[in-house]
């Protein structure tokens, strides 16, 4: 007997007897200090459900299991059972980019509810990028007046000539933080730096190397206009922003981006070049490392831990205690070296966990089968993988319907990898997913048809051609597939 639960529990024992489960089945909760945090024991017998856990978190997860079993096995007798369950990874995350396209609080809450049901515990909220700044910073009102507004949007060949303007007020952010906290989800805000900063530079051009006026970007891509890391004012600005961010987000982690940062402007900037020389740095990438360490130390002083994308490791400046590295695309495998030497990493592989790409590129089966324990990790490195994360960038995700199509059910595959110590076979997962589709739909998440999940090779090819023709420009392909020059 397989139960309709995602992620599948670690151990289920069937015991004598059976009964119908429904919403009237009584539930009793008891404390058992021997159970690990987030873990639980769940007994179903003639008395209904009894939940054992050492804390409220484990109890919450037992309730998610009950909810799924009740939904998936409606109106027929289920054998009595006993479940013992606890997670594999401590970081079970999902990321939503609200910079390219933003979503309403209600829509975001629907995603949070689904993630909570999947026992995920980290919401990585991408709030700033070239195409928009989406978090209210009271000490810097120009961020809302200028940086949160782009004149038009041209993502691939889809052009929208209307202005796009959005940001979350601090009250709205507190609402999301509290909503997540009630579901044992920590919100990790991402304030991307020193690159992906065109939106903030539109309001504060003096923080770039050239100081030239610029605009909030209207297209996708990687832009050379990055923060000048030798300018005192850059740090004053970032401290102002981070002070408010640290107040708003009570969790331990702040994501400071660090991805896709061209060094061209630093190379041309006399002040950045002088700084590189004075600090005896081997490369301009090491200058990014120096900058990141500086910000990381500031965050440490405020009791926070920085997370960065893997590019921050280029230049070999940061140590294992400075940062947690989120690996997404790392041609030089620096993240695995970092983990092998004791640094912590989160796995979000581009080819498996980037769900802004269609099923034609990343079928559900492929996402499901991905192992976060790469062959390049030694036994120490394997222990340093703290978890996995599903990513949803939104250049090509303009509304909630598309968000659902892209994220579900692939996020469920990531949740299962994040939780299960012995992940079941794909087919087993697929059947459970089908049993749970109605539950997601009752919670406002439309799940695409089964025949879309794993397209056959011909429809994959057709889907890929259509996607790339519509959305991805030659520049983007070049950035992804041609190795970076050393600098």
Binding mask 315-354 for ligand ACM (x = CB under 6 A): -------------x--------------------------
Q: Which is nearer to Zn ion, 213 or 271 (CB)?
A: 271
- Pick 248 or 272: Cβ nearer Zn ion: 272
Residues in the interface with ligand ACM (CB under 6 A) total: 4
Alpha-carbon separation of residue 117 from 20, 25, 49 (angstroms) = 22, 19, 18
| Contact between 20 and 78 (Cβ < 8 Å) | yes
Choose the one of Zn ion, ligand ACM, none that binds residue 309, judging by a C-beta under 5 to 8 angstroms depending on kind: ligand ACM
Identify which range of 206-214, 412-420, 422-430, 456-464 contacts Zn ion by CB under 5 A: 206-214
Q: Which does residue 466 touch among Zn ion, ligand ACM, none (CB within 5 to 8 A, set by kind)?
A: none
Nearest residue (beta carbon) to ligand ACM: 259
Contacts of 133 (CB under 8 A, 6+ apart): 99, 127, 143, 144, 147, 148, 167, 199, 200, 203
Cβ-based nearer residue to ligand ACM, 81 or 328: 328
Question: Residue by residue, what is the 3-state secondary structure of 272-341?
Answer: HHHHHHHCCCCCHHHHHHHHHHHHHHHHHHCCCEEEEEHHHHCCCCCCCCCEEEEECCCCCCHHHHHHHC
Min dist CB 293 to ligand ACM, Å, is: 20
Q: Is 207 in the site for Zn ion (CB under 5 A)?
A: no
How distant, in Å, are the alpha carbons of 69, 148, 157, 428 from that of 161?
47, 16, 12, 46
449 phi and psi, to 5 degrees? -60, 150
The residue from 228, 306, 346, 388 that contacts Zn ion (CB under 5 A) is 228
CA distance 292 to 298: 10
Q: Give one word for 87, left, alpha or beta, with left for phi > 0 and alpha for psi -120 to 50.
A: beta
Which residues lie across from 153 on neighbouring strands? Answer: 160
Least CB distance from residue 349 to ligand ACM, whole Å? Answer: 11
User: Which residue number, 52 or 291, has a Cβ lying nearer to ligand ACM?
Assistant: 291
Helix (H, G, I), strand (E, B) or coil at 117: helix
> In the complex with ligand ACM, which residue's Cβ is closer, 38 or 129?
129
Of the two residues 211 and 342, which places its CB atom closer to Zn ion in the complex?
Answer: 211
Mapping DSSP to helix (H, G, I), strand (E, B) and coil, where does residue 30 land?
strand
Residue 260 binds ligand ACM (CB under 6 A): yes
Query: In 3D, which of 182, 157, 155, 146 has the Cα closest to residue 56?
Result: 182
* 287 lies in the binding site for Zn ion (CB under 5 A): no
Pick what 185 binds: ligand ACM, Zn ion, none; C-beta below 5 to 8 Å, kind-dependent: none
Residue 169: CA count within 13 A, CB half-sphere: 3
Which listed option, ligand ACM, Zn ion, none, makes contact with residue 345 (CB within 5 to 8 Å by class)?
none
| 259 sits near ligand ACM (criterion: CB under 6 A) | yes
* Least distance CB 105 / ligand ACM (angstroms): 25
DSSP 260: S
Q: Which of 199, 209, 414, 420 binds Zn ion (CB under 5 A)?
A: 209
When the beta carbons of 52 and 328 are compared against ligand ACM, the nearer one is 328
- Find out whether 438 and 71 touch, Cβ atoms under 8 Å: yes
- Using an 8 Å Cβ cutoff, are 170 and 243 in contact? no
**Ranges assigned E (strand) in 88-150:** 91-97, 122-126, 128-129, 132-133, 149-150
User: Which one, 136 or 190, has the nearer CB to ligand ACM?
Assistant: 190
**Which residue, 210 or 460, is less far from Zn ion as judged by CB?**
210
Task: Write out the binding residues for ligand ACM, residues 189-248 only, by CB under 6 A.
Answer: none
Site string for Zn ion, 233-272 (x = CB under 5 A): ------------------------------------x-xx
**Is residue 155 within the footprint of ligand ACM (CB under 6 A)?**
no
Name the binder of 269 from Zn ion, ligand ACM, none, CB < 5-8 A by kind: Zn ion
Near ligand ACM in 261-320, by CB under 6 A? 309
Which residues contact ligand ACM by CB under 6 A?
259-260, 309, 328
């Amino acid at each position: 007997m397989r139960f309709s639960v995602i992620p599948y529990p670690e151990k289920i024992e069937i015991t004598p007897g059976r009964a119908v489960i429904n919403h009237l089945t009584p539930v009793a909760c008891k404390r058992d200090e021997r159970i690990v945090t987030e873990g639980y024991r769940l007994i179903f017998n003639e008395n209904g459900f009894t939940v054992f856990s050492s804390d409220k978190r484990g109890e919450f997860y037992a309730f998610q299991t009950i909810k799924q079993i009740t939904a998936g096995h409606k109106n027929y007798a289920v054998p009595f059972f006993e479940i013992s369950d606890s997670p594999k990874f401590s970081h079970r995350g999902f990321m939503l980019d609200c910079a390219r396209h933003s979503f309403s609080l209600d829509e975001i809450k629907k995603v949070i509810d689904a993630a909570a049901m999947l026992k995920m515990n980290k919401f990585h909220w991408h709030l700033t990028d070239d195409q928009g700044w989406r978090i209210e910073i009271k000490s810097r009102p120009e961020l809302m007046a200028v940086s949160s507004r782009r004149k038009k949007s041209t993502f691939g060949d889809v052009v929208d000539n209307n202005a796009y303007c959005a940001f979350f007020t601090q009250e709205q952010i507190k609402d999301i933080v509290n909503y997540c906290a009630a579901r044992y989800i920590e919100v990790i805000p991402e304030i991307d730096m020193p690159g992906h900063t065109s939106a903030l530079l539109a309001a504060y051009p003096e923080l770039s190397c050239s100081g030239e006026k610029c605009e909030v970007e209207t297209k996708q891509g990687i832009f050379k206009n990055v923060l000048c890391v030798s300018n005192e004012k850059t740090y004053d600005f970032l401290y102002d922003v981070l002070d408010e961010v640290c107040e708003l987000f009570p969790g331990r982690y702040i994501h400071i981006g660090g991805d896709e940062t061209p060094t061209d402007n630093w190379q041309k900037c006399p002040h950045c070049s002088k700084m590189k020389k004075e600090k005896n740095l081997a490369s301009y990438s090491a200058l990014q490392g120096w900058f990141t360490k500086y910000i990381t130390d500031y965050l440490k002083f405020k009791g926070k831990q920085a997370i960065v994308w893997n590019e921050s490791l280029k230049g070999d400046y940061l140590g294992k205690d400075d940062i947690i590295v989120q690996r997404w695309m790392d041609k030089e495998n620096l993240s695995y070296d970092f983990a092998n030497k004791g640094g912590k990493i989160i796995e979000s592989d581009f080819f498996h966990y980037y769900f802004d790409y269609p099923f034609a590129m990343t079928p559900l089966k492929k996402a499901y089968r991905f192992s976060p324990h790469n062959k390049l990790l030694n036994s120490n490195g394997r222990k340093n993988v703290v978890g996995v994360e599903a990513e949803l960038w939104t250049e090509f995700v303009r509304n909630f319907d598309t968000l659902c199509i892209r994220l579900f059910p692939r996020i469920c595959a990531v949740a299962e990898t994040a939780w299960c110590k012995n992940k079941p076979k794909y087919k087993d997962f697929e059947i459970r997913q089908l049993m749970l589709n109605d539950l997601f739909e009752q919670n406002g998440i439309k799940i695409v048809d089964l025949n879309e999940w794993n397209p056959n090779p011909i429809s994959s090819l057709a889907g890929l051609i259509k996607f790339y023709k519509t959305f991805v420009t030659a520049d983007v392909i070049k950035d992804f597939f041609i190795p970076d020059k050393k600098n």
